Chain A
Amino acid sequence: MEAKYDFERKYREQILQCSRCGFCQSVCPVYGATLRPALNARGKMLLLKEVMDGKIELGKELIDSLFQCTTCASCANNCPSGVNVPEIIKQVRKDMVNIGSCHPAFAGMNEVLQKSTNIYAEDELPDFDRKRDQKAAYVYFIGCVGAYREDEATEGALDLLDRLSVDYTLISEVCCSGVLEDVGYSLNPKLASQNLERIFATGAKTVITGCPYCYRTFTHRQEYDELRKRGITVLHISQFLKDLDFGVTTDKKVTYHDPCDLGRHCGIYEEPRATIRKIAPDFVEMQHHHADSLCCGAGGGVRGAYAKNSLAMARRRLKEAEDTGAEILLTECNSCVHNLANAKLRKQNIKIYNTTAFINELMTKKVRNK
């Protein structure tokens, strides 16, 4: 039988390799929040198998399963059969967009990024009262969530860089557009080259990203190969911080949430912890951490398309954080901070920060107390 879709051409063997053992159910954040097996990896692979077998049509009826995946990769990490679910999901979403069965939240997302410079179609990139596009040793690349949704977190990070006298500049950044790959489209090379041009113009040898997804895009995607060719290092801010001294500590109990894009997708687990251990002697891990970390629920477009379930996922993660007895939950991803903070109920006392913003707050207090 002739393969009808790209997902089939690329991943047929892998999809058939799913033995339906259901082990993914224990780690899938979407299942954890909904208890609906149609939404975990096994449910998705079964749908694709039936599409390939000609039993059902790839179409709108499948959207609520195939678009409800945070691409957190927990399933792939725990799959005895080695099925790389996030990659399959990304491909099938492209196929669905091609046949006009895209989730309405992402319909036209491609066009948004043809016209606009960011995923939210906001008009103006905030400058955070700083000059942009200067000559500097470092470029700080904020990312859309940090720029348009988590301004306080971003201010914290920038203030910290200032305090540490880092020679950095912001740029007139546009969306790295890596996220398009998650919701059925392809990275936009025009946006990539705009970012590259502006980075090169600063003369910086290092790009620091605030966003794990931008980091992932810059380091993994060929559209950004030019960075490597020119010997420009890309660091996520958590990597940049690990060798620095801050001269502050907190006596509060602290825990850390691994962002999926930083942890499972890029293998960055220890650098953020090295930094946190320096400032928080009373550091504890949650039940799920490192490669087993539980997704906050924001990724893969789920926050945009399925906000209610996305927040329910964040509430499960917050519960784990609270169960450690920690007063402070740190992470280093604006999407995670955004979703976790939104999910927090008023009666919950735990405070949620990016590590950068938290260190900045400690340093601000120290200066004030002097």
Chain B
Amino acid sequence: MDEKLKNGLIGIVGAENYSEDLIDMVSYSYDASQHSARPLCVVWPQNAEQVSRLMVFANETHVPVIPRGAGTGLSGMAVPIKGGIVLDLSHMNKILMISIEDRLVIVEPGVVYANLEKGLAAYGFFFPPDPASGKVSTLGGNVATNAGGVKGAKYGTTRDYVLALQVVLPDGRVMRTGSRAMKSVSGYDLTRLFVGSEGTLGVVTEITLKINPRPTATSTASATFGNLEDAGRAVSQIMHSGIIPSVLEILGKETILAINKNTDLNLPEVEAMLLAETDGYTKGETEYQMAKVTEVFARNNALEIKQAKSDEEAINLWKARKSAYAVLARIKTHFVLEDVTVPMGKVADLLKGIEAISRKHDIQIATFGHAGDGNLHPQILYDGYNPEDVKKMEAASADLFALAISLHGTLTGEHGIGLSKAPFMTLEHDPAAMNVMRSLKRMFDPNNILNPGKMALDDAGGPASEPGIHG
């Protein structure tokens, strides 16, 4: 470790907020993806001013800086692939303001999603985009990755709630974007530019979020289907039936079989299962919506429709979906959890395509996901210590991405590009779009110090190279 670098960092954050201990370096080498790489050191800044001074220092010394929240990302965006300083923002974890009057909250980036939810519950409000990792994930991370969740179809994703940001730019300048107003068309939408930018453009140090009144009533139902076309058609018909369920989830056959093998839920071993939740403020309201949903289920040859009559029954219906991740995580030593997303009308095509890819590469792919917004999670299960298996996984992933793009979808609905999908960026984005993205990156970060190596922004040969070569 370079003493000058070390002393410079300690001078900014203090010795107690700096580490190069092996245990920290190992832990900051990973996120929830399959990637890993060692950083040089970690700092735990306490405020925006320290972040700003850190960026000035890093920019002068040309050392990479990797902003990090809870490290629950599935694409490797927090993995320090070029080494450098991990900037763990979890110490900046204060909820600065809850304003019910203005329907917004202001938080530091290290606030854990679940803690904000707890704070808002007291007022009967909530912040809808709830990623599965919400108990751990930080709002800074949610903003940087534009986190989604099961409620996307009705409530959108993080992007739809960010009103304003305070951002430290790579050269250390502190910038404010947006305002506290619900509507604003003042200048370029710099706020949105940072949402989902994966820590490549700036470090978010303060977030202003819109919040919603919390629905107080829900209805829940499930339906099983003997073929994927029926299930897929049910999804798209629900979405144009005039109501929008708060949750509409799908479990594919492989997932159902795995759940049955590993739990005592005894699900019917059908081609697909849909789970729907409607929400509102009175039971009448949610039941009315649910009647429409179950009507669509029936019209599309559902084999069995179950509607929960109590909270307890609802919890039981959700058990299958909630157990999916844990069950699938235990089958093989490794898995990749993809998040390809297609237009709602193409959900059945995507499911069928996934099955074909699984057969073609002779690899287990279990699918579940957010049918309501066309965002599916094919989970590819493999043994990471078996090179043959790894090759199959990679080939299957590549086919999946190609499939999603051919269906007019996207590589990633909520997990982001990071390292995992960087090689596929040009599959989705044309040369002009890649050029604009790379130009933006260079404008904000000419020395390429902020989370370098991600999103295919600099893999055409680094910051000095000409744009567009990769495309």
Using CB atoms and an 8 Å cutoff, list the residues of chain A in contact with chain B: 13, 16-17, 19-23, 25-26, 35-39, 42-43, 46-47, 50, 56, 61-62, 64-65, 80-82
Contacts and interface: CB of A to CB of B under 8 A. Distances in A.
Contact of B30 (A20, A25, A39, A82): A20
Contact of A17 (B21, B72, B136, B330): B330
A15 to B, nearest CB: 10
B23 A19 contact: no
B136 A26 contact: yes
B22 interface: yes
Given A17-B333, A20-B30, A25-B70, A43 B135 contact: no
Nearest to A82: B330
A42 B24 CA distance: 12
A61 B19 CA distance: 13
Contacts of A36: 24
Contact of A61 (B22, B30, B32, B70): B22
Contact of A23 (B33, B93, B136, B330): B136
B325 interface: yes
A348 B44 CA distance: 29
B112 interface: yes
A69 to B, nearest CB: 12
Interface in B252-273: none
B22 A62 contact: yes
B26 A35 contact: no
Ranked 5 nearest A-B pairs via Cβ: A80-B326, A38-B27, A43-B27, A26-B135, A38-B23
Interface string B8-52: 000000000000011110111111110000000000100000000
Contacts of A42: 27
Nearest to A47: B26
A92 B26 CA distance: 17
A23 B70 CA distance: 10
Given A35-B90, A35-B91, A17 B70 contact: no
A64 B26 contact: no
Interface in B298-351: 325-326, 329-330, 333-335
21 contacts: A16-B333, A19-B32, A20-B33, A21-B133, A21-B325, A23-B135, A25-B136, A26-B114, A26-B135, A35-B88, A35-B90, A37-B70, A37-B71, A38-B26, A38-B27, A39-B23, A43-B26, A61-B21, A61-B22, A62-B22, A62-B23
Nearest to A40: B27
Contacts of A19: 32, 329, 335
A38 B21 contact: yes
A326 B117 CA distance: 24
B335 A22 contact: no
Contacts of A38: 21, 23-24, 26-28
A41 B48 CA distance: 29
Contacts of B334: 16
Interface centre among A26, A43, A46, A82 (most CB of B within 10 A): A26
A220 B193 CA distance: 58
A154 B385 CA distance: 54
Nearest to B24: A38
Contacts of A43: 23, 26-27
A56 B135 CA distance: 31
A339 to B, nearest CB: 23
Contacts of A46: 26-27, 29-30
Interface of B: 21-24, 26-33, 44, 70-72, 88, 90-91, 93, 112, 114, 133, 135-136, 325-326, 329-330, 333-335, 385
B135 A64 contact: no
B23 A61 contact: yes
B326 A22 contact: no
Contacts of B21: 38, 61, 64
Contacts of A39: 23
Given A23-B136, A47-B26, 11 more contacts: A17-B333, A21-B325, A22-B136, A23-B135, A26-B112, A26-B136, A35-B90, A35-B91, A37-B88, A42-B27, A47-B23
Contacts of A64: 21, 23
A22 B133 contact: yes
Given A13-B333, A35-B44, A81-B326, A20 B26 contact: no
Nearest to B44: A35
A316 B269 CA distance: 46
B454 to A, nearest CB: 18
Contacts of A23: 133, 135-136
B329 A80 contact: yes
Contacts of B326: 80-82
A62 B23 CA distance: 6
A42 B21 CA distance: 16
Contact of B26 (A22, A56, A82): A56
Nearest to A63: B23
A80 B322 CA distance: 10
A37 to B, nearest CB: 5
A21 B27 contact: no
A81 B72 CA distance: 15
A26 B118 CA distance: 14
Contacts of B44: 35
A56 to B, nearest CB: 7
B31 A20 contact: yes
A82 B133 CA distance: 17
A108 to B, nearest CB: 24
Contacts of B71: 22, 37
A21 B23 contact: no
B130 to A, nearest CB: 14
A64 B23 CA distance: 8
Contacts of A22: 31-32, 70-72, 133, 136
B262 to A, nearest CB: 9
Contacts of B114: 26
A17 B93 CA distance: 30
Contacts of A25: 70, 136
Most buried by A among B23, B33, B334: B23
Contacts of A35: 44, 88, 90-91, 93
Nearest to A19: B329
A26 B71 CA distance: 12
Nearest to A39: B23
